[in-house]
Amino acid sequence: MFDISGKVAFVTGASKGLGKVFALALGRAGAKLCILSRTETDLRQTERELKSEACDCISYIVDITDEQEVENAVAGCVEKYGRIDILVNNAATARINKPAEETSLDEWKHVIDTNINGSFICAKAVGKVMVKQKSGKIINMSSISGKIINKGVHGGSYDVSKQAIDGMTRALSSEWAQYGINVNAIAPGYFMTDPNIMFFEKDPDFYKTALELIPAGKMGQPEDLVGTLLYLASDASDYVHGAIIPVDGGYMIW
């Protein structure tokens, strides 16, 4: 049930961080890959790493807020592989840690446009392919911030964007389940990604506070998300629709 060998996976934000971990995990599990990012140097490095492990992979430099660029990448993927079986809707921008009264409208719009509008553009473009196929797995990247307002930090635009991702996941699932498409989301807690590591180094007191709120007693490592990713990408989740799965060390238990 968990076998994804030969499936075609379309991964956004794949040049670094969680997106790179996801691309490598899918490639190692036997999927063919189309990887996207705005950052060419890092994306080419990810592509080289995948190919060094004998993974079948193509890449596109894409800004996910540009609908035409996304559609071109989808068309290129279908031309190369004939279909798209998995979308990992991962690309996003980080939290702008400012109080609401100090946040400019441009800063607010940047987070909303990238995190929700960009994710919708990708889901729409890939969704058209999957509707025709009458099959597919869409995995959106939410956050514990989709359910809560994180204690000790600012950046309401980020929380709002992830809550919108949860809503979009359910909305698209309700429309596309009839076509054999599973639309679900992963909601990570605090993980040791590069942006978080830098943030924790700047504010060690916040790191201590966040750690004390995690029942597991440790921060997540990117690899801790791979099992959930492969589950949602595989036939094992065929009857799972509109779910937002927290992977947070128990943070939201309290």
Q: Which residue has the tokens 């929700």?
A: 116
Structure tokens at 188: 């990570």
- What pLDDT digit, counting tens, does each position of 192-220 carry? 998 899 989 999 999 999 999 999 999 99
Q: What is the pLDDT of residue 168?
A: 98
147 within domain boundaries = yes
103 within domain boundaries = yes
SS (H, E, C) 193-234: CHHHHHHHHHCHHHHHHHHHCCCCCCCECHHHHHHHHHHHHC
Three-state SS at 44: helix
Q: What is the pLDDT of residue 254?
A: 86
Three-state SS at 181: strand
Q: What is the pLDDT of residue 209?
A: 92
Considering the entire predicted model, what is its pTM? 0.97
**Annotated catalytic residue: which of 158, 207, 231, 251?**
158
CATH assignment at residue 160? 3.40.50.720
User: Is 158 among the residues known to form the active site?
Assistant: yes
45 within domain boundaries = yes
The span from the CA of 105 to the CA of 117, in Å, is 16
115 within domain boundaries = yes
**232 and 201 Cβ atoms separated by less than 8 Å:** no
2 within domain boundaries = no
| Range of the structural domain that residue 25 is part of | 8-191+223-246
67 within domain boundaries = yes
138: which strand partners? 87, 183
- Domains identified in the chain, total number: 1
Low-confidence ranges of the chain (pLDDT < 50): none
At residue 143, what are phi and psi to the nearest 5 degrees? Answer: -175, 160
- Half-sphere exposure in the Cβ direction for 151 (13 Å, CA): 12
Q: What is the pLDDT of residue 151?
A: 87
33 within domain boundaries = yes
**How do strand 8-11 and strand 32-37 relate by DSSP bridges?**
parallel
**242 and 203 Cβ atoms separated by less than 8 Å:** no
